[in-house]
Structure 1
Amino acid sequence: MSIFSRLAEQKIEEAIRNGEFDNLPLAGKKLPIDDLSHIPEDLRMSYRIMKNAGYVPEEVTLRKECVQLYDLLGATRNEGEQEQLKRKLNEKHLRLQLLLEQRGLSGNSAFTQYESKVRERLTGKE
């Protein structure tokens, strides 16, 4: 056991003795699942940090907006509104493609591994 592991164990045992873990919000309950299994292992920590900070990458936001516009387009019967929504959808889609190319994600193998999972989550079709 390394010195850092021993120090961590000592701090945990000390906190238990001092009762610092007694009244935690989820004490005795299952922890909520933070499933990042669809994200490559080397990217999980950075995504977790961004998620906990409330940051959503722009490409995720753009994908979500594209899905919403596509759904609105399917529900709209007014031709004027349909044209307006198609134009917005095309603009968002082009912006997304440019952003993915700029960030090197369009041909990135790590991105292609989890891209379908992101799409499934955004569209709700799991």
Structure 2
Amino acid sequence: MTSPELPARFYNPYAFEFDTETVIALLADRHIRQAIERGEFDDLPGSGRPLDLPAQHDPDWWLKGLIKREGLALLPASIQLRKDDAALDDLLDRLPHEDAVRREVRQFNERVVRARYLPPAGPPLITMPRDVDATVTAWTARREARAEEARRQSSEHTSGTLPPQRRRRRPARWRRRG
């Protein structure tokens, strides 16, 4: 089968050598194409739904895995500072003393001021720095209120206003034999 426009010396049917794997792949491809033409793959379960491929096929699989594993959120500075501002009181309530509270509020204020000097990336920055003394005063009031609540619950428990708890008896099989 030589082409009429090419001389016979340019076509050599023995010039191509196929290894076994290539031949098998070509035959498999041919059989699959014939099955598609016959319509044998038309009514398979799950047709039309996306494939659930492993993450290794994604070029960013490592970065996405790190973000998911570490629970990181990549948000614009304005949104991240809003979230941090909303959660700051709960964070401060877990701190043991006033110096740690002051240090945490100062660090928050530094991040807010630093974000004001950056070019905006996302929504506008509406978070304002906090007044350190006012925040410490509010922290002290919350701490005293929690301590008072704990004292009140402790006094209710010891004064007998709560019903006495019944002691459970062990079943006979658990009792010690002496």
TM-score in terms of structure 2 length: 0.25
More RCO (CA 8 Å, sep 6+):
1
Q: Which protein is richer in helix relative to its size? A: 1
If you compute each CA radius of gyration, which structure gives the higher value, 1 or 2?
Answer: 2
